[in-house]
Amino acid sequence: MSSFTHLHVASAYSGHFGVTRPEILAQAAAAAGDSALAITDRDGLYGAVKHIGACLKLGIDPIVGADLAVTDESGSALGRCVVLAHGQDGGLGWTALCAIVSSAHASGKKKDGISITLPRLAELAVRDGVALVTVLVGPNSDFGKATLIADRNIAANKLLKWRKALQATGSLGVEIVSHITEPGTDFCNQQALRMLQLADSMGVPAVLTNAVRYLQPDDAITADILDAARHLEPLGMFQAQPNAQAWLKTSEQMSRLAHEITQDGDRAKQLLNSTQSLADRCRLNPENDCDWGNPKTPEKSTLGIEGNPFEVLWQRANAGIEWRYPNAKEKLLIDVRHRLSQELITINRLGFATYFLTVADVAQMIRDMRIRTAARGSGAGSLTNYLLGISGVDPIEHDLLFERFLSVERTSLPDIDIDVESARRHDIYRAIFKRYGSNRVTLLSMQSTYRGRGAMRDSGLALGLDDDQIDQIAKNMWRFSARSFRNAIAVKPELAQLAEAIEEDRKMNLLVDITERLDRLPRHISMHPCGVILGDASLLNLTPVEPSGLGLPMSQFDKDDMDPMGMLKLDVLGVRMQSAMAYAVREIERVRGQSIDLDAIARDDPQTFKDIRSTNTLGIFQIESPGQRELTGKHQPTEFNDLTIQISLFRPGPMKGNMIAPYLDGRHGFRVPEYIHRDLEPILKETFGVVIFHEHVLRILNTMTGCGLAKADEFRRNLEDPRLSATVQTFFRQKATERGYSADVVQKVWEVLESFGSFGFCKAHGAAFALPTYQSAWLKTHYPTEFMAGLFTHDPGMYPRRLLLSEARRLGVRILPIDVNHSSDEYLVQNAPRRTTDPTEPNVGVRMALTEVQGISASEVQRIKDNQPYQDVADFYLRAKPSRRTLERLALVGALDEIAGLNEHTRGDILVRVRELNAVVKRPTIDPNQPMLDFTVVERMPTGNQDFTPADKVRRELEILRMDVSQHVLEEYREMLDEMGVIRSSELVSLRGKTEVLVAGVRVATQTPPMRSGKRVVFVTLDDGHGCSDSTFFDEAQQRCSNILFNNKLLVIAGKTRRTGVKGVSLMAENAWDLKELWAIWQQQKAQQRNSQKIA
């Protein structure tokens, strides 16, 4: 029995169509003894690289194609075809396939799906009379559909059209498919036979496929759901797939199918043979056909380099020494030169000089654009990167290792990630395209996959459940994978209602099952948030591209495809904090005339560290989360390295590895640091004997075995893999013993390495992050007004904006309300006269931006800005031409107070006036030559209308700005809260442990961090205008308040204080209530009291 090769297979990367991941399909084919397998995803090569990688690993030949829609010259649909690249032709087939896919995306309109015209397809499919690809027309083509119609000639003519376009030998084939459907319908045996007969009569080769969508019949149910998601309609509302036959059938089954279709043993054999011939022609040799694994960088000329790139790199790096170490002592310089030589030797041996020059070139270009940059990741461990200006952290000062970043043991292109101002990221992309040419650059794509809520929503849609019902359930899906949905229902208290519904409602039961089926399937392709691919002039021959949302071309490959394809990916990541800091620096310069170089400020400012230690870290990079705030309270950092350590500690690994407590105990002197052996003391002194950093592991391995740091990094990576860690252990024990370490020491160190090694964190990454952390803290300490303006304008961080406002109030930064005469589209720092005689009141403040007004359009904002200042409300109405809705909203939030003259008029008066103007049917236009005669628009403010109460004001602000500006939202409830004895969060720090208290506030964060015990713990952070309180809900408390735990915004929480450090206090929650519910009850009681008093 000869083996069959599937030539038409959609993987899960055929969005909303295919079900099975390429790796699984390849495994199944290899296991069944097939010698090759094709992947033909819809509209592109989305799964191709993964497919090739899997095939190489399994020792079968990869075949790659795409399933594309085709039209004629005039745009009329000709159905779909499969285009298969020919292999072993030096990449001509692969390049043609890429060009065909790119061309389809470039011309097709996204709305009706992408497609390519037949003439264009034919043009790209053949070169010099030689076919580079084979186009297969099957049951989904116009020809295939026509064979279902009785008139044979119609179908014959359709095939003739394809034949005429694709005349070269091997450029066209007919794809015979039968899913054994009802006779006379698509994909039935009779259609297949008819197509075969027509192909024979016209001399077009025919091949057999199964138009595969999934691995096994069971997956057809998942395919149904994907169809619903693609149609955006519930099952039953569209024509569903005919049955469950589109699976990866075995060779034997395909052979039987050939006989069933042809009813003729010889013809069946011939069909199977021609299928194998085409398969043979399409077997790819990835190295020769796709330039697999061969690193590609821009040509020297594009980088402006002449001569040997390594010599250029050597010169540039050495020139950087003068810049980075201007007044260094000779001893340091010797270290620097020595280390640089070592790094450069490695870089040269790997042949990566051009790569480093490319990244340096991009970094220099970004600096020339005057955009803030910082490095991230292990790249900060490289002195070369520091000297070339790619990274801003001195690896020698911070004890960072190059070998963690790059070594001869590790031949893949390293990742160098550059953080930039988020607001300028797209400018940088465009500049990169311009600098290197659009044939050498594309954006990187990413496949988002179905996760929890998304899977649930699309499952609900497929079943036709109503939106509210889906929303309700989705809201309570919290931190668990959809794959374990049914399991979660049994144990999570907030899903108790759903558990009941499942008992009674069949559809709910189905919902759970299909949500689990969708989990982790690719969902849609989008632009990667930061990746740019840089290559040489052949880049677009190797990857298909499609337009991105940004207008720039985007590769169909994702980040995991880069290394196998030898493609250089540069991560240019937009970081909002960098934008916020750049903005603050510009405001400082604009308002105060001071110019500040954030990268040059001293990194040991005592006041900055004092402010950090107060735990009021809101708005500071990396350490503002509730957990980091708590850790700050315990840790009390005093120097830059402490920030590096703290950032690195607060990661899932170190938390799971229980590294935090021993480190803190050592630091605060509760425990004598244990170094196991004196040789390890210098390595672990900074962390009091606790292994936190990858760099620690490298140094320990190197010190005790003498293996060298490069080898040590390989060992470190092997430690993460239980299968490989055994060999590391053998090596470590043997070498360490040889070098004279006692059995006891070897045993103890191994235990540490084994349990802690894989949890650690790269110190270089921590140090790279600590830099913006320190810089933002410094700005917050010394220029809080400008810093807050930057935060508001660029909105970094994790909290709702109203919390920033609360923090500004707490800091004493004046918030100037929205005002049509003073506000713009950004938060500007403005002078503002003191409202009191208090000389400590600042006379500058942050002016809120017009953009906060809900529903205001960009053009309205622009008009308001352009026509400032305004005389009065009517003037504003006439010249700024706001919409009725915007005008009223501006009045409601007080933006017209100043021009209306609030001293004489109430907010009520202004509102009456605005409504009067809004009642005018047609806004009069201003003619400078005519006196204004229209009496409605001549200003005459009404008087005597009631002013807004403070509570009214806040209500309107929350409605329109989603922020409580004039006072904290909790103030409205203050009387009740005081009566209840609810304390302010700023008072918590002065309380003893285990004090029973009540706190209240607006929920600003809910987190369920990973716990060592595996039990879920819920952290809720409330803001009450006096700071934040953090409450921890353990199992029992979660049960008690399951219905409000994740839902309600305003909460009252009862609990016991738990002291965690000098400045650290959190609450062990016992119960929680909905504040509004309490308020309603309280008001009722008050009313009753008043009534009974009256009666008495």
Give contact residues for other proteins (rule: CB under 8 A).
179-183, 188-189, 217-218, 220-221, 224, 235-236, 240-245, 462-463, 486, 506-507, 509-510, 513-514, 516-517
Closer to other proteins by CB, 111 or 506: give it: 506
Task: Tell me which H or E stretch contains 922.
Answer: none
CB of 491 to other proteins, least distance (A): 18
SS3 814: strand
Residue 21: CB atoms within 10 A of its CB come to 20
Closer to other proteins by CB, 235 or 724: give it: 235
Closer to other proteins by CB, 93 or 452: give it: 452
CB of 401 to other proteins, least distance (A): 45
Closer to other proteins by CB, 161 or 451: give it: 451
Token pair for 114: 């992408």
Candidates 922, 879, 914, 920; CA nearest to 895 is 914
d(C-alpha 95, C-alpha 544), whole Å: 9
d(C-alpha 999, C-alpha 1032), whole Å: 13
Residues 1007 and 798: beta-carbon distance below 8 Å: no
Token pair for 857: 């359009």
DSSP assignment of 899-920 equals: HHTTTT--HHHHHHHHHHHHT-
Token pair for 882: 């706001």
CB of 245 to other proteins, least distance (A): 6
CB of 506 to other proteins, least distance (A): 6
CB of 239 to other proteins, least distance (A): 11
Closer to other proteins by CB, 259 or 613: give it: 259
Closer to other proteins by CB, 460 or 666: give it: 460
- By the 10 Å C-beta count (0-12 exposed, 13-18 middle, 19+ buried), 164 is classed as exposed
Token pair for 178: 């039968």
Closer to other proteins by CB, 502 or 736: give it: 502
**Amino acid in position 171:** S
CB of 178 to other proteins, least distance (A): 10
Closer to other proteins by CB, 244 or 527: give it: 244
d(C-alpha 96, C-alpha 118), whole Å: 15
Pairing of strands 996-1007, 844-847: unpaired
Residues in the chain: 1096
Closer to other proteins by CB, 240 or 396: give it: 240
CB of 249 to other proteins, least distance (A): 13
- 186-225 as b/e: b if 16+ CB within 10 A: bbbbbbbbbbbbbbeeeebbbbbbbbbbbbeeebbebbbb
Query: 3-state secondary structure string, 147-205?
Result: CCCCCHHHHHHHHHHHHHHCCCCCCEEEEECCCCCCCCCCCCHHHHHHHHHHHHHHCCC
Token pair for 210: 């199964």
Closer to other proteins by CB, 509 or 614: give it: 509
Closer to other proteins by CB, 516 or 1024: give it: 516
Residues 698 and 704: beta-carbon distance below 8 Å: no
Closer to other proteins by CB, 456 or 612: give it: 456
CB of 605 to other proteins, least distance (A): 58
CB of 513 to other proteins, least distance (A): 4
Closer to other proteins by CB, 178 or 422: give it: 178
d(C-alpha 75, C-alpha 73), whole Å: 6
- By the 10 Å C-beta count (0-12 exposed, 13-18 middle, 19+ buried), 310 is classed as middle
Closer to other proteins by CB, 154 or 235: give it: 235
CB of 451 to other proteins, least distance (A): 17
Please list the residues that pair with 846 across neighbouring strands. Answer: 815, 829
CB of 182 to other proteins, least distance (A): 5
CB of 266 to other proteins, least distance (A): 20
CB of 196 to other proteins, least distance (A): 18
Residue 896: CB atoms within 10 A of its CB come to 29
DSSP assignment of 261-298 equals: HHS-HHHHHHHHHHHHHHHHHH---HHHHH-TT-----
CB of 292 to other proteins, least distance (A): 34
The number of angstroms, rounded, from the C-alpha of 627 to the middle of its chain's C-alpha atoms is 21
CB of 246 to other proteins, least distance (A): 11
Q: Token pair 């900055």 is at which residue?
A: 608
Closer to other proteins by CB, 242 or 924: give it: 242
The number of angstroms, rounded, from the C-alpha of 629 to the middle of its chain's C-alpha atoms is 24
Closer to other proteins by CB, 75 or 236: give it: 236
Question: Phi and psi of 1062, rounded to 5°?
Answer: -50, -50
CB of 82 to other proteins, least distance (A): 23
Question: Phi and psi of 436, rounded to 5°?
Answer: -100, -10
What are the Cα distances from residue 946, in Å, to 613, 901, 967? 47, 15, 20
CB of 456 to other proteins, least distance (A): 15
Question: Phi and psi of 597, rounded to 5°?
Answer: -105, 100
Residues 767 and 380: beta-carbon distance below 8 Å: yes
Closer to other proteins by CB, 498 or 764: give it: 498
Helices 763-782, 606-613: axis angle to 10 degrees equals: 100
CB of 80 to other proteins, least distance (A): 21
Give 986's DSSP letter. Answer: G
Task: Tell me which H or E stretch contains 192.
Answer: helix 189-202
Radius of gyration of the chain (CA): 34
**Amino acid in position 979:** E
Question: Phi and psi of 857, rounded to 5°?
Answer: -95, 160
Closer to other proteins by CB, 56 or 521: give it: 521
d(C-alpha 837, C-alpha 1009), whole Å: 48
Residues 700 and 760: beta-carbon distance below 8 Å: no
